[in-house]
Amino acid sequence: MIVPYVWIGDFVRCHSVVKLLRAQAPERPVDIVSSTLCAPLAEYMPGIRQAIVIDLPRRRLGLPLQRQLTSRLRGKNYAQALVMSRKWKAALAPFLAGIPLRTGFAGEARFGLINDMRFSERKLPRMIDQMGALALPKGARLPAEWPLPELKVPADEVARWRAQRGLTAEGSPIVTLSPGAVGAGKAWPPGHYAALARALTEDGASVWVLGGPDETAIAKQIAGAAGSHVHDLTSADLRNAILALAAADISVTNDSGLMHVAAAIGTPTIAIFGPTSPWHWKPLNPIAAILEPPGDEPARERARSEGNDAVRHRRTADVAVETVLAAVREILRKGR
């Protein structure tokens, strides 16, 4: 049983851990604790038996929900829990449920709650290395390559979703834009997305804007600038974005959760990076292009050892609309 991080991108990364566990012991089922937001992702991840959906609070213990989760875990015959987060409360329910082996990194005085304690997390600079290390025996060497996350979305489900949305008649290329991002400075400006959408619709493309309710206002701004060939598909249900990305010819995105979703689906993905390091935070899956502010190559090199501190000064706004447009046109020219 995996207790993952709750962010979308980290949840997608967790599928590498699932695949690693299944390769080690194909007969052992793997379950994952999930928020309501991330639960649709688990349905498309091969190798996951079920998602245990519960919305634990982020900034407080939430004892009633912890008890509820404990009761759902108890008696399920779990042999091991992998607790990805270093938070004390993340390990509480697996402990109370009596799961015999509880693996996690040291943090917040969790001795006892975690009985398979791992150290040296800080020496593993990438999130995937930290996650994957917990699925390996203590002291084991990390593999040169991790299994790639994978989201398998059935074509017939995509077709039904498009029919329900009235998006079946479009024969033009579909470009999705994902303007949302968590973290200061990671979002390419809405005006840049609007200018890109305008140019793409003039090329004959259909533009679908994806994200949650926080991105609805941006989607309306983009549609207002680029016209009727822009569709606002923002929604509180992540499944809409998953199905849209499965249908798309190309995805343009910030460094965000939907970047990882698009890459795991296999949709050609253009990722715009600013104050974050692509080496640390890009998807494991191959993507079509990583676009960064021009110049400052020494900072890019330093980022491998210094992390985001080396590139924190960069602005996504300095990635020109023309640069992104040229990348989209080139990928569409080559074909999916």
How many whole angstroms separate alpha carbon 98 and alpha carbon 79? 9
In this structure, are residues 259 and 9 in contact, taking their beta carbons and an 8 Å threshold? yes
In this structure, are residues 201 and 327 in contact, taking their beta carbons and an 8 Å threshold? no
Residue 245: per-residue pLDDT: 98
Residue ranges of alpha helices (H) inside 187-256 are 190-202, 216-226, 238-247
pTM: 0.95
Place 336 in a pLDDT band, splitting at 50, 70 and 90: low
Calculate mean pLDDT across residues 154-183. Answer: 92
Eight-state DSSP code of residue 189: P
User: What digits encode the pLDDT tens for the residues 116-157?
Assistant: 999 988 889 899 999 999 999 998 999 999 999 999 999 999
How many whole angstroms separate alpha carbon 78 and alpha carbon 225? 53
- Domains of the chain in start order, with CATH, are 2-134 (3.40.50.2000), 160-334 (3.40.50.2000)
Calculate mean pLDDT across residues 58-82. Answer: 94
Residue 169: per-residue pLDDT: 72
For residue 264, CA distances in Å to 178, 204, 235, 275, 312 come to 15, 27, 20, 23, 27
Eight-state DSSP code of residue 84: -
User: What digits encode the pLDDT tens for the residues 28-58?
Assistant: 999 999 999 999 999 999 999 999 999 998 8
Place 103 in a pLDDT band, splitting at 50, 70 and 90: very high
Residue 320: per-residue pLDDT: 97
Place 175 in a pLDDT band, splitting at 50, 70 and 90: very high
For the chain, the maximum distance between any two Cα atoms, rounded to a whole number of angstroms, is 61
User: What digits encode the pLDDT tens for the residues 219-270?
Assistant: 999 999 998 899 999 999 999 999 999 999 999 999 999 999 999 999 999 9
